[in-house]
Structure 1
């Protein structure tokens, strides 16, 4: 069994890895902004840009707070770095927690919005994720307040554990529920397109991209709740890694979809043809499938007669 990593060393390692991840997010974020302006994904460029900017700003503020805390801990704290990091009532610790909670809420909000759009803007389908989102915010900010009221003991105090664990589990549940709902909707739509001989490979590719990205963030949250439950200081490392990871997964989906579109376009240019296939599609109502950011739509009129679906492939 490995020896427990000291709190001060865990915090320093976390800062180094967070710096690396934030740099990666900054580069990917810049590329994502360019892609959004060029391709106008899903006709919601303004929302995507504002969400991306907010996530980057909060991630940067989180990192700056960690820089200031490291400076205070290793250079300006007479009791030493270990005692400094163990004091969860430090105002900077509370500020860091509040920023992380807000960052998590921003990321979860866009996940819920995607689910809402994929399900034809049906509020009933996102009722549970919205309740989980509200609970995440309530518990997260309650945890911040609890930290300020804790003058002795560290983050693993018995009275803090339900709050911290509840926050992590609720944001994890929000992402898992939305991912399942989106995946089900996209798979169902792909089956309809396949039966109608209207293609659907792009929908399937977008689904794989979305699931891979969602799995990355969910795995980080699972790791976080596990190491926290084990009272391991490694949770500080995982926690600081997940801050910029929210933005990385956000950008990853857009960039990979753009790469897929570019590859498909180059393939068609090389063949010198741009076929437009028209197929009859039999579905009950307009369905907008937003495979995270790419969109494909098809419908049928109220009389039950199939409409024509134009698939630009």
Structure 2
């Protein structure tokens, strides 16, 4: 197996996380601007986005603290290595808990999007909710086990690896499942618009593309992380901290990209599935199309909305 100095691995990991965290700062500031400029602020998305960014900031701060503790304070190189190898150091354990919090708030935000896009259908929402709870549980257990290991033991210890592998796998499954649920719902709800007015569907397709591409970045990072960990490849130490920031970046980038698109179209931003009984407006893309369905004539008002993800508004004479 390739042997890598822990000094080099920690430095590369912190450098990578710092680079991505800089992007997250800009993404969060822009997302705040987009969310707060709305006529009515969606507090759920605002609070979850803020909690997500704060957790990522906490993880970054812990790493900077470890940089001082591991490279400046130790009097000798031997003392430095002892610090870096020790999993029970408080700052190392704190990093794991911040990782759990980042995953938790990101997963709750994804679950909320699914809930709203699927017209508050709790049955569908139980799928991501269960994955969210399972990811959180496995992450907490991993953190507990890391805090009680013996000197010299690593993150590949059997009792740790079982839960850590579960955490990485469930987080990946959560990302893929929620993206599929949201994108498929948008595609399904806009089927009539595609049929009767194909030229109106470009904005719908754009939102789906934003969702898939944003999720694919996080999914790719999670797949690499899982593969490295399962193979006990030292590269896991290079990317593990950076993945935390990538998971944070994906939902923030969605808010920014779709929000900017909505501003360019003169609309407002939001996350909801809108019918005659559910009035939650955000970014709108309007198209009025008269259609005939099941012998009833009605006006279909297509609204595309997105906020940190995307949803779709279809105003109809009755809920579908």
TM exceeds 0.5?
yes
SS state of the match for residue 159, structure 1? helix
2:17 aligned with 1:18? yes
In 1, are the aligned partners of 2:186 and 2:312 still within 8 Å (CA)? no
| Structure 2 counterpart of 1:232 | 233
- How far apart are residue 281 of structure 1 and its match? 6.3
| Structure 2 counterpart of 1:280 | 291
- How far apart are residue 297 of structure 1 and its match? 2.0
SS state of the match for residue 156, structure 2? coil
- How far apart are residue 86 of structure 1 and its match? 1.6
Give the alignment partner of residue 43 of structure 2, picking from 21, 43, 46.
46
- How far apart are residue 46 of structure 1 and its match? 1.6
Once the two structures are overlaid, the 10-residue window that deviates more, 255-264 or 50-59, is 255-264
In 2, are the aligned partners of 1:117 and 1:288 still within 8 Å (CA)? no
| Structure 1 counterpart of 2:281 | none
SS state of the match for residue 159, structure 2? coil
2:297 aligned with 1:298? no
1:138-153 correspondence to structure 2 within 5 Å: 138-152=137-151, 153=153
CA 288–150 in structure 1, closer or farther in 2 if over 3 Å, else same: farther
Q: Deviations over 1:50-73 (max 9, x none)?
A: 122111211111111111112111
CA distance in 1 between counterparts of 2:32 and 2:318 reads 37
Once the two structures are overlaid, the 10-residue window that deviates more, 176-185 or 100-109, is 176-185
SS state of the match for residue 291, structure 2? strand
| Structure 1 counterpart of 2:260 | 259
Q: Deviations over 1:19-43 (max 9, x none)?
A: 1211111112111111122246xx6
List alignment gaps of at least 5 residues for structure 1.
Answer: 267-273, 305-313
Once the two structures are overlaid, the 10-residue window that deviates more, 93-102 or 235-244, is 235-244
CA 39–4 in structure 1, closer or farther in 2 if over 3 Å, else same: farther
Q: Deviations over 1:222-249 (max 9, x none)?
A: 1110111121232122221122223321
Question: Root-mean-square deviation (CA), in Å?
Answer: 2.9
| Structure 2 counterpart of 1:76 | 73
| Structure 2 counterpart of 1:308 | none
* Higher relative contact order (Cα pairs below 8 Å, separated by 6+ residues): 1
Once the two structures are overlaid, the 10-residue window that deviates more, 290-299 or 225-234, is 290-299
CA distance in 2 between counterparts of 1:125 and 1:75 reads 51
List alignment gaps of at least 5 residues for structure 2.
Answer: 268-284
Total equivalences in the alignment: 293
1:1-313 correspondence to structure 2 within 5 Å: 3-39=2-38, 45-77=42-74, 78=76, 79-152=78-151, 153-197=153-197, 199-265=200-266, 277-280=288-291, 282=293, 291=306, 292-293=309-310, 295-301=312-318
- How far apart are residue 75 of structure 1 and its match? 2.3
Q: Deviations over 1:106-130 (max 9, x none)?
A: 0011011101111111111121221
Once the two structures are overlaid, the 10-residue window that deviates more, 184-193 or 159-168, is 184-193
CA distance in 2 between counterparts of 1:19 and 1:163 reads 27
In 2, are the aligned partners of 1:118 and 1:289 still within 8 Å (CA)? no
CA 80–161 in structure 1, closer or farther in 2 if over 3 Å, else same: same
| Structure 2 counterpart of 1:271 | none
CA 47–126 in structure 1, closer or farther in 2 if over 3 Å, else same: same
Q: Deviations over 1:246-286 (max 9, x none)?
A: 332122112211332344459xxxxxxx99634236499x9
- How far apart are residue 162 of structure 1 and its match? 0.7
- How far apart are residue 12 of structure 1 and its match? 0.9
